[in-house]
Structure 1
Amino acid sequence: MILANFIDLVKVQLLGLHGFVLVYACTVFDHDLMLLEQGGNDDEEHIKLPTLNLFFFVQNFLSLSLSLSLSLFFSFW
């Protein structure tokens, strides 16, 4: 039972990490595509992009932490 819960927990962690990588890649791709359409590099946009990625990272981290806490709580309860 504990091993099954641990395997489910690992699956949730991997899915969350995969989701973060996809969001990060899509954000960078959209930003690069926007710069190509504008015809140049904009330094201000390069400053905004890491902030957006940091937001997605924190959001994903909090989601994973919550799922980990709930999984551990219900596995021992």
Structure 2
Amino acid sequence: MEDPASFGGELGLVMGSPVHGQAALAVGVLPAARRRHHRRRREVFNDKLREWEDYYNYHRRHRDLDGQTPYERLKQGTTTET
């Protein structure tokens, strides 16, 4: 955990709180570089999630779909006998 003092004393009002970093983020006192770092991490996560969703829905064969991908099943139509 980083030392709150490294933020230049900007967290003085919330330093005693166990969630001082979250509170500081909520009120917008974190330095711009730190906000950019968190934004970049979210972007990387979202990019990886989109890659996984693409693989899962368009390339990965599913046993329960008789070896089809979810997209292939969707194109075929989902008619099942009851």
Q: TM-score range, shorter-chain basis?
A: 0.3 to 0.5
Structure with the higher fraction of residues in helix conformation = 1
TM-score normalized with structure 1 length: 0.41
Higher relative contact order (CA 8 A, sep 6+): 1
TM-score normalized with structure 2 length: 0.38
